[in-house]
Amino acid sequence: MRILNAAQMREADRFTIEEIGIPSLVLMENAGRQVVAAIEAAYEARLNGRVAVLCGRGNNGGDGFVVARTLLQRGIDASVFVIGSLTQVRGDAKTNLDILGRLGVTVVEIGDEQSWELHFSEISQCTLIVDAIFGTGLKAALGGMMETIVADVNASSLPIVSIDLPSGLSADTPHVIGDCIDASMTVTLAAPKLPLVLPPGEEHAGDVVIADIGIPHEVIDGIEGQHIELLTPEQLRDVVEPRAADSHKGDFGRVTIVAGSRGKTGAAHLAAMGALRSGAGLVTVATPASVLPIVASMAPELMTEPLPEEADGSVAAKAIDQLLELRHDVIACGSGIGRGPAVGAFVGALLERATVPLVLDADAITVLAEDPGRLTGREERDVIITPHPGEMARLIGASIEEVQGSRIDVATEFATAHRVYVVLKGHRTIIATPDGHIFINPTGNAGMATGGTGDVLTGMIAAWLAQLLDAEAACRLAVFLHGAAGDLAEASEGQVAMVATDVIAHLGDALNRLCNPDKDSS
């Protein structure tokens, strides 16, 4: 599902109105009615009282006028307030304001703080507030009377439903540019916007409902500019094809996991189980010889390969020759392998000599930090890296705060410059492709902030890459299912008690729910 910024949303509106021929008044009517439908679904009990509809002077306010009219036509008491002068309302918003007047609806003008003070006591006695003050066009922080309005509305303890965006947020950035409404629910129009799906903006959005107002999906998908998508079950469901009755293990890929070292055998096990539970036909763990018995004892389904090692129990540089003699479709490397010079040499040789797709995580990323140029992908072989913010920071020579402050830009710039796929892990994991496409994952929770969950994801990406033979699809599917399994684990174990093996235990259920949404998975 495409995520649009303010300019892209304006272009989608323009194209729909001018090229498709759907009048702007129809789009506004659809928007208002969709907002009412969302309110009725979420706040039915609140509609026994009075709804306060706070409207601005632009199109967002026009949507609010439609909301008020629709509520009143359904027998729901609503009071309408315009923030600013009624004479400044223009265009389609003015048309809908005039309709309210002809229906005998009183619209209260709030032109200054004294007027706001006078009427806020009335607003605070309502049972729900609709925020239709500003939409996607806001560029600068709110000031003056609007700061007072936002503060009072937020302090009212009433549910707040914002139209398109909570007033005070900008559609062009996930960052909070100033004071803003703390919505209980946001009904966003036609397509999601960045501050609704990424922190810190999302913390002010509440539950997000995406309303179809009549703009064709083809129009939204065809808008030029930065291409950012929100992963959805609908787009991923068709990626997984049913298995033929006469399938055999060779049909589903051979994955080699280079992982583990002395004291880090669990990382190898978690990555390997992530691959097995994601459907890889054959999984081999290549690990230093001294720890191989430990890894082999953890799961009978795994094959193992003993690798030459250094004195500290990490993989030796010369192990590359033995590794490349193995038969595999994908190699995943990095979970718990160590960070010494020999490991750096091994990973560098792997990048230079391997002909199959690579998934690099953890230590395999860190040992390349002094020379990230070695990560450059080749047309004939995909490279996927899965850093957490600390590893990404080391790779680009920045602070974690700088990475977290511009995650989309950091991931996109590295992916396009080095021709690799970047899976920047964290809350709302970012996937950036070599051609500049960005995907944001909505699944997952804070309980997954525990050791080993990243290793599980590494194995999952490798397994789906071996089956799908499509790096972008493998990243999207694995990241979504990883978070979905974490959400199921949260429901079972809670966030505090969750561990990485809980995520593995729920991978099958997550996949079943994705592929069979109408079937009871309990």
312-357 pLDDT, tens digit each: 999 999 999 999 999 999 999 999 999 999 999 999 999 999 999 9
Whether residue 156 contacts residue 178, with contact meaning beta carbons closer than 8 Å, is answered with no
29-65 pLDDT, tens digit each: 999 999 999 999 999 999 999 999 999 999 999 999 9
**b/e string for 57-80 if b means 16 or more Cβ within 10 A?**
bbbbbbbbbbbbbbbbeeebebbb
Length of the chain in terms of residues written: 522
Confidence of residue 212 (pLDDT cuts 50, 70, 90): very high
| C-alpha pair distances (Å), 172 with each of 176, 227, 416, 444, 468 | 10, 13, 21, 24, 34
- For 466, phi then psi, to 5°, come to -65, -30
DSSP state of 244: P
**Category of 206 on φ-ψ map: left (φ > 0), alpha (ψ -120 to 50) or beta:** left
C-alpha angle with apex 326: 279 to 463, nearest 5 degrees? 15
Q: What's the pLDDT at 522?
A: 47
The residues facing 438 across adjacent strands are: 228, 432
Q: Between 91-102 and 24-42, two packed helices, what is the crossing angle to 10 degrees?
A: 60
Round the average pLDDT of the chain to a whole number and report it: 96
**Strand ranges across the sheet with 185-189:** 107-110, 77-83, 50-55, 128-132, 160-163, 185-189, 207-211
In this structure, of 229-238, 368-377, 398-407, the range with the lowest mean pLDDT score is 368-377
Q: What's the pLDDT at 378?
A: 80
Domains annotated on the chain, with CATH: 2-225 (3.40.50.10260), 247-515 (3.40.1190.20)
Average pLDDT over residues 142-150: 96
Whether residue 343 contacts residue 337, with contact meaning beta carbons closer than 8 Å, is answered with yes
- CA 48, CA 78: separation in Å to the nearest integer? 11
Q: What's the pLDDT at 129?
A: 98
Confidence of residue 520 (pLDDT cuts 50, 70, 90): low
404-423 pLDDT, tens digit each: 999 999 999 999 999 999 99
Whether residue 352 contacts residue 320, with contact meaning beta carbons closer than 8 Å, is answered with no
Residue 338 tokens read as 């160590």
53-105 pLDDT, tens digit each: 999 999 999 999 999 999 999 999 999 999 999 999 999 999 999 999 999 99
Q: What's the pLDDT at 239?
A: 94
